Amino acid sequence: MSAASPNSSALLRPGVGRGLLDVLRSRFLLKLLVRKELKVRYRGSVLGLLWSYVKPGVQFLVFYIALGVFLGQEKSARNPNGLENYAIYLFSGIVLINFFSEALGNAARSIVGNGGLIKKIYLPRELFPVASVWVSAVHFLPQLIILVGACFVAGWHPNAFQILAAVAGFLVVALLATGLGLLFGAINVYFRDSENFVDMLLMVATWASPVMYSWNLVRDKAGDTIFAIYQANPITTGVELFHYAFWLPTTPGGAEMPPNLLSLWLPVGLGTSILILLLGQWTFHRLEGRFAQEL
């Protein structure tokens, strides 16, 4: 065989790349897609990026009044069994669950939403779900700044371990959102019902993690087996790490955290997120060859 002859073993299926490795090599395209999504989302909007402050602020007030005041989650003279600094506890969970919900919801719709571009040119298709996660991270940053400011007002004095725990919690949830975004983004091209499934999943995710209530309630009422499954949920891990980093240092007398949070549940949550990321990438790689035809 001559040097100019094609080598069949080196051929790849049309439209199929090397997955997330192509995203790393296409950082400039990723940056363009993030800018495009931000511009399109706020086109014609008066407040623009300020909605990143307004929406979680309203959400926080509704939950705080309903749960903290009316249902007694806030510790007070009348309710000594409530959570101290419940406002910090609640908001530290809300900012992370909002990031996850926005990232997964938009990533799951990203391939179908960019169908016109996908049918015209080839570029790594993983860029679209990953760009959705990055846009959600942009919206997450203003909420994080507000959270840190509120923590300082409440007497926040974290140590290095707690700061690293916050980074680890965000990483666990970001990997999970990316993996599920790749998975459902690919499936959504073939079965549009997956959008409704993702919406239901996000509705459950808020209540299936200790965002608005203490993990003690699950331990006391559900039993050891259910509690272990609950703690193995990467979202639960991420939220509890945020509580450990932001809420715990604001409680003068300290507070009880889930046992083995750093030694057991952090590795379990991180490992689960990585496995889901690999599953999402594998599924995406198997299905992306017919995206243009199906769209």
* Rg of the chain, C-alpha, whole Å: 21
- What DSSP state is assigned to residue 9? G
- What DSSP state is assigned to residue 285? H
Residue ranges of the domains in the chain?
16-294
Q: Judge whether residue 77 has pLDDT over 70.
A: no
C-beta separation of 176 from 100 below 8 A: yes
Q: Judge whether residue 2 has pLDDT over 50.
A: no
The whole-number average pLDDT for the span 188-200 is 88
C-beta separation of 127 from 26 below 8 A: yes
pLDDT 10s digits, 168-187 = 999 999 999 999 999 999 99
Q: What's the gap between Cα 292 and its chain centre?
A: 28
Instruction: Name the residue among 41, 57, 59 with its Cα closest to residue 49.
Output: 41
User: How far is the C-alpha of 123 from the C-alpha of 120, rounded, in Å?
Assistant: 10
pLDDT 10s digits, 20-42 = 777 788 888 888 888 888 777 76
